[in-house]
Structure 1
Amino acid sequence: MSIALPKPLLPGKFQDAAITLKGERRATVAMTGLRTLWFNTGTLCNITCQGCYIESSPRNDALSYLSAADVTTFLDEAEADGLPLEEIGFTGGEPFMNPAMVPMLADVLARPGLRALVLTNAMQPMRRYAPALLELRDRFGTDRLTLRVSLDHFDAVHHDAERGEGSFAKTMEGLAWLAREGFRLNVAGRASFGGQDEAAMRAGFAQLFAAHAIPVDAADPVALMLFPEMDARLDVPEITEACWGILRKSPDSLMCASSRMVVKRRGAAAPAVVACTLLPYDPQFELGATLAEAARPVALNHPHCARFCVLGGAACSR
C-alpha cells in the first residue's frame, strides 16, 4: 500500500520555500558536515500506532526495504569523500522487519569509528534476531551499538492506547532482555503524553526503570529522549532568518546541518537522500541520489521544522 500524506492545514503558511506568508525571508540551514546518516529501512511495522508521523503499519510499504548493498553504497561514498561521519541511525517502520537488518549493522560496526543506533519497539521482530544480535555483541562489543526503544509512557494504559493492547508488556520484555544481555540502551518517549509535564514523565520513567533493572538514566536527555508532539495540522510560527537572533539559536544546531536520511520509495529504481528523518514523503525535501548532491542547504518550509526542531529543540540523534 502506498500513501500520500495530507498537506499541513495551515492556510497560506509553508507554501514558498524562500518567503513566508508575511513576506519575510524563510530561514535555511546549510550543511556543516555530515556526521549522522540515517537509513529508513522501510515503513512496514508489526504494529499500527495512532500518532505515527510516518504512518508505519503492517500494510504501509510506501518506503520499501533497503538492501545491505544500498547501505554499503552510501557508507562507501562517505568514506571515499572523507565525510566526518560518526553515527549511522536505522529507523522505520520497525527496522527489524527488514531481513537485511543484521548485515547492515555488521557493515557499520566493521568500519572503525562509526557508531550504530537502531530505533526499535523491541517486540517480536527484534526478538527473533536474538541469536544474531548476541553474535554482533560478542564480535563488536557494545560501545558502538545503541538500541533506542520506543516507550511512549511509563504507564501501560497510556502506552497501549497509542500502540495497541498488550504492546507495553511486550516492549518491556524486549527492553529487559536487552538490559540483561548488556546492550547499550536508550529509550524514546513523548514529552507531554498523558497530561504530565516533563519532570513528571522523567520521574515516572525513573521508577519504571528501577523496578525492572533497566540501566537508563531518566534524567539524561539523551538516554531518555522525550520528543515533542508532531501534528502538521496545528498552527506554528514560520521560521524566518530573523528568528535565529530572536531565539538565540544557531542554525548549526539543527539536525539538517549535520544529518541526512536515505529512503527507497516503493517502485523506485534506487534510493534517494532526504533532508531528515521527519520528512520522508515531502518531495521538496528530497535532495538527491547521492550524499554529495544532498549536501545543499535546506529551507525550513514545514511545520515539523518549526515545532520539532527550532522551537521544540529536539533532535533524532545524540
Structure 2
Amino acid sequence: MAAPKTRPLDPAKFRDPLVTAKGETRATVALAGLRTLWVNTGTLCNITCRNCYIESSPRNDALAYLSAAELHGFLEEIARDALPVEEVGFTGGEPFLNRDLPAMLRDVLSRGLRALVLTNAMKPMRHHAAALLALRDAFGDRLTLRVSLDHHTPLLHDLERQEGSFAQALEGLDWLAREGFRIHVAGRAAFGGEAEAASRAGFARLFADRGIPVDAQDPVSLMLFPEMDATADVPEITTACWGILGKSPDSLMCASARMVVKRKGAAAPAVLACTLLPYDPQFELGGTLAEAARPVPLNHPHCAKFCVLGGAACSR
C-alpha cells in the first residue's frame, strides 16, 4: 500500500511565536529542570545522508567543532548552580571527528554524570578505540554509544546513507559488543512503509545473529524516530492541545534539555532550545544555561510532528 501523501505546509502557520494562524494561543514549554545537556560537536560528518535533518556532510561546517575548554565552562555552570543534569549527550555531525571528544567525555564522566554519544560507528569512532577503552575501564556503563542504523537490512540503510555503510556500521557495533560497551541503536520508524512491530522483529533477528546486546523491544535501547519533514502540513499546537491530547508539556524534550552549539565564526558557543532546530534563530536562547532557562514557544513543524504528536525524545 502506498504511503499517504502529505499536503504542503500552510504558509500562514508557524509564523508568530505567540499565536497560531487561527489566532489561538500557541503552546509553550517551560524548563521544568535541566536533566539532559546536549552538545553538538560540529556538523562535519564522514558521510552524507539523503535526509539528514542537520545537513551534516564532509563539507558542512556551519556548526564548528566545540572545544573541551568551551564545554568545561558549561559543566562548571552546572556544578556551580547545582543544576539537576544527569546526562550529557554528544551529537553532530559525527562526534568522533572532533578530536576533543575523548577529553569532553572524561570531563563529563569524572563528574559522576552519564554520557551518551550518537555515532555512525564507522572509521572515525575506531580511530578513538584506545581512548574509548580507557573510558570504559574507568567509567563502565555510564558511557553509552548509540549507533545509527536506519534499517535492519543493508539495502534500505545504504540507500539512506551510502553504499557499504551498513557493513561498516555493523563492524563498529560488533567491536563495541565484543569490548563490552553499553550500546543503544537508533533507527527510523516506518522506514520503507514497514510497521514498527515488523521493524523491531527484524532488528531483533539482526542483533541475535551477531550477538549484539540490544533489546529490540525496548524503546530506549532501540529508538525508532519518526520522519521529519518541515514542509509537510501539521497542526499547530495550542494551549488547548494538552488537554485534548492528554499530554503534559513536561514530557517534551525542551522541558528537560538544552543544546550547546558553536556557530562558524562565532566568538563563543550558544545554547539552543532543541537538538532538532540548530539553524533557526528563534530557538537560540542565550550564551549560558541560566539565560536559556526561559520557556520555548512551539513555533515549528518539528515541535508538532516529531515531539508532541510523534512522541519522540532524543534521550531516555
Common topology (TM > 0.5): yes
Please give the TM-score of this superposition, normalised by the length of structure 2: 0.97
Q: Which sits farther off after the overlay, 174-183 or 8-17?
A: 8-17
How do 1:34-49 and structure 2 match up within 5 A?
A: 34-49=34-49
In the alignment, which residue of structure 2 is the partner of 1:123?
122
The offset of 1:194, in angstroms, is: 1.5
1:254 aligns with 2:252: yes
In the alignment, which residue of structure 2 is the partner of 1:56?
56
The secondary structure found in structure 2 opposite 1:310 is helix
1:271 aligns with 2:245: no
The share of aligned pairs that are identical, in percent, is 76
CA distance in structure 2 between the partners assigned to 1:249 and 1:37 by the alignment: 23
Which of 166, 182, 192 is the aligned partner of 1:184? 182
In the alignment, which residue of structure 2 is the partner of 1:83?
83
Could you say what the CA RMSD is over the residues aligned between the two structures, in angstroms?
Answer: 0.8
Q: Which amino acid aligns with 2:37?
A: L
1:133 aligns with 2:126: no
CA distance in structure 1 between the partners assigned to 2:202 and 2:236 by the alignment: 34
Q: Which amino acid aligns with 1:128?
A: H
1:154 aligns with 2:152: yes
Please give the TM-score of this superposition, normalised by the length of structure 1: 0.96
The offset of 1:181, in angstroms, is: 0.2
CA distance in structure 2 between the partners assigned to 1:310 and 1:139 by the alignment: 38
Q: Does the CA contact (< 8 Å) of 2:9 and 2:234 recur in 1?
A: no
Q: Which amino acid aligns with 1:126?
A: M
In the alignment, which residue of structure 2 is the partner of 1:4?
none
Number of residue pairs the alignment of both structures matches: 309
Q: Does the CA contact (< 8 Å) of 1:42 and 1:66 recur in 2?
A: yes
Q: Does the CA contact (< 8 Å) of 1:153 and 1:194 recur in 2?
A: no
How do 1:164-203 and structure 2 match up within 5 A?
A: 164-203=162-201
CA distance in structure 2 between the partners assigned to 1:317 and 1:10 by the alignment: 31
CA distance in structure 2 between the partners assigned to 1:138 and 1:245 by the alignment: 47
Q: Deviations over 1:216-271 (max 9, x none)?
A: 00000000000000010101000000000000000000000010000000000000
Which of 288, 305, 310 is the aligned partner of 2:303? 305
How do 1:18-33 and structure 2 match up within 5 A?
A: 18-33=18-33
Q: Which amino acid aligns with 1:153?
A: H
Tell me, which stretches of 5 or more residues in structure 1 are unaligned?
Answer: 1-7
Q: Does the CA contact (< 8 Å) of 2:122 and 2:172 recur in 1?
A: yes
The offset of 1:10, in angstroms, is: 3.3
The secondary structure found in structure 2 opposite 1:317 is coil
Q: Does the CA contact (< 8 Å) of 1:89 and 1:118 recur in 2?
A: yes
